[in-house]
Structure 1
Amino acid sequence: MADRTPDHPRPPSVAGKVMAILDAFAVGGVRLNLSEICRRSGLPLATGHRLVGELVGGGFLERVPDGTYRIGTRLWRIGSQAPAMTGLRELALPHMEDLYEATHDNVQLAVLRDGRALFVERLRGARSVPVVTQVGATLPLHATGVGKVLLAYAPEEVREAVLAAGLPRHSARTITDPGELRRCLERVRRDGFAFTRDEMTLGAASAAAPVRDGRGAVVAALSLVTRVRSADARRLLPPLMTAARALSRDVAAHWRSGPVDLGFQTDEPGSPSAGRKAAP
C-alpha cells in the first residue's frame, strides 16, 4: 500500500477516488509514476493501479514509455473548454503573439485560482529559456512573477492565507520569509509590475504586469520569462507593459458591454475580482 498523509485522506467514493487521481496532477507534476499518484491521492496501490488503468483506457491519462503518467488529450480537450481557458485566452492571444514577436521570450498568462497561479496560455519558441509552466497547471504565487502580481492585488484574506500556509523553497533564491514577501508585494503595488530571478527555475528571470477589468480590478497577470544571463530583465518592461495595457483595454471593453464570461468574473472567495472592487 502506498503511504498516505493526513492531508490526503482516502476518498470515500469511486468518483472521489478518480477526482483525487486527476487532482494529483494539479500541483505541478507533469509526469508521475504510480506510487506518486497513489501517495498524492491517498489511495492504496492496488486501487490506484486499477483506476489509473481505466483512466488511461479512456484517454484521460497517458502512460509514457518510461512508465510514468501524464494528463491525456481527452481530459485536456475537456478542460480547454473551461471559461478561464476560453474567453480570457481568446482576448489575450493576439497581444501575446505580438509580445512574443517583439521579444522571442516565453509569454505567459495566469489567473488566481485556489491560492495558486493557474496558467491559461503560454507561448514559447525554440530559443526560449526552458520553464516548468504548462497550460492548465498551477504554480505557487510567491515564487513566480505572475504569482507575485496576482497575490499583490488579491484580497487581503487571500494574501494572509498564502502567508500563513508557509512559503516552500523551490530554489536557493525563493523568498521564504513572510516579511520579505510582504515588502516585495508592496513594491509590486507601488511600481505596477513584478520581477523574479532564479526563484522558481534556475537560470530564468521574469517580468510580470497586471491585467485589469473595466473597474480596475486585477483579473490576470501577463509575463515574459527570459534567461538570467541575458540583458537586464528591465528591457522586458516596455513591451510587456504595452501589451498588458492593451489587453486590459480589451477586457474592459468586454466587461462594459455586458455580462461576458471571461473565466474570472466570479464572486467566489479568493477570486481576483471578488466583490467587483477596484484594486488599490
Structure 2
Amino acid sequence: MSRPAEQDDNSSLTKGLSLLSVFTVAEDELSMSEMARVSGIPKSTTHRLVSDLVRWGALERGPGGYRLGVKLFELGHLVPAQRTLRELAVPYAHNLTEVTNLTSNLAVREDREILYLEKISRQDLTVPHSRAGGRLPLHCTGLGKAILAFSEYAFIESVLAHPLRRMSGGTITKPDQLRRELAKIRKTQVAYDVEESQPGLFCVAAPIMGLAGQPVGAISVTGATALAQARKYASAVRTTAMAISRVLTAQTTRRPA
C-alpha cells in the first residue's frame, strides 16, 4: 500500500536535487521561474519544492531570487575523504603561498572535472577562474592533468574518448597530444597549464598520492603567464605534494580498522 507514496517521495527528492543543480558560478541567484525553466520542472511543483528547500536551509532568499543555502556548505565540509585531505593540506597550501608569493589551489577529481577544495590567494593577485567549490575540465588544468596522469588507464582512455573542450587558445584538444603530455607528467611528477584554461595565467601542479598509489588530489600555484617562470616553482610544488602525500598516508595507516 505504501509503494506509490515511496515512489512519489523519490521523485520529489530527485526533482529537488535537480533544482539545486541548476545553479552555476555565473548564475548563482535565480528566480523561481528561471529555476523551473532550466530544470524543466513545472512551475507549481517548483514552487512547492523551493518552499521545502528554503525551510530546510538548502536554499535561501536573495535580493534577486533564490541562492544556495548555508546548509549545503555545512554538509559539504562533512564529506569524510575531502574533509581529511583539506584539513591536512591547507597548512601546506598556506606555506606554499608564502614561499612562492602566488595563489595556491587544492583540488580533487570529480568525474572528468576537477573540484576545487581550497584557494589561498594573495591579496594583490586575482585568479578569477578558480574558487572553492568550482569545477574545470581535467584536460586543460595543471591540477587536472596532474591527477589524470596517474589515474587508472581505463579512466584516462575514457577521458580521451570524449571531446576535449577548448577553454582557451592554448587548450590541448588532440588526444595523442594529451597522451604525450601525460607521459611527461608521469616522469617529472609536475604538470603545467600555460594559458590552457584561461588566457594570461599559468599553473604548476603536482599530484597528492594516497595509500594505494592512486592520486587523491593535487596542489598547485597560479600566477601570470611565463613558462620559464612557472618552471621555477616546480620543485616547491612537487615537494609540497609529496609532504601532503606522506602525512595523508601516515594518517590512513594509523586509522583503526
Report the TM range for the smaller structure's normalisation. 0.7 to 0.9
1:2-42, Cα deviation, whole Å (9 max, x unpaired):
xxxxxxxxxx71100011122334x7656253566446534
The runs of at least 4 aligned residues of structure 1 exceeding 4 Å deviation read: 27-30, 34-40
Q: Which residue of 180, 198, 205 maps to 2:177?
A: 180
Task: Tell me how far apart the structure 2 counterparts of residues 128 and 259 of structure 1 sit (CA, whole Å).
Answer: 42
Question: For structure 1, which segment, 213-222 or 239-248, has the greater mean C-alpha deviation from structure 2 after superposition?
Answer: 213-222
- TM, length-normalised to structure 1: 0.78
Flag the 1:119–1:251 CA change in 2: closer, same or farther, 3 A: same
Q: Secondary structure of the equivalent of 1:31?
A: coil
Cα pair distance change 1:172/1:61, threshold 3 Å: farther
Aligned ranges 1:9-48 → 2 under 5 Å = 13-25=11-23, 31=28, 33-34=30-31, 37-38=35-36, 41-48=39-46
Matched, 1:123 2:131: no
Look up the match of 2:102.
105
Q: Which string of whole-angstrom CA distances, capped at 9 and with x for unpartnered residues, describes residues 209-264 of structure 1?
A: 0112244332211111112269711122122122112111111211332458xxxx
Partner residue of 1:154? 151
Cα distance between partner residues in 1 of 2:224 and 2:179: 26
What is the DSSP-based 3-state SS (H/G/I as helix, E as strand, rest coil) of the residue aligned with 2:197?
coil
* TM-score (ref. length: structure 2): 0.84
SS at match of 1:226: strand
C-alpha distance in structure 2 between counterparts of 1:177 and 1:114, whole Å: 20
Answering whether residue 172 of structure 2 is matched by residue 193 of structure 1, we say no
Number of residue pairs the alignment of both structures matches: 248
Q: Kindly provide the amino acid, as one letter, of the partner of residue 73 in structure 1.
A: V
Q: CA RMSD in A?
A: 2.7
Q: Find 1:228's aligned residue among 211, 225, 230.
A: 225
Q: Which blocks of at least 5 consecutive residues in structure 1 are unaligned?
A: 1-11, 261-280
SS at match of 2:206: strand
**Larger helix percent:** 2
- Pair 1:59 & 2:57 matched: yes
- Identity among equivalent positions (%) equals 37
- Deviation of 1:145 after TM superposition, in Å, equals 1.0
Amino acid at match of 1:80: H
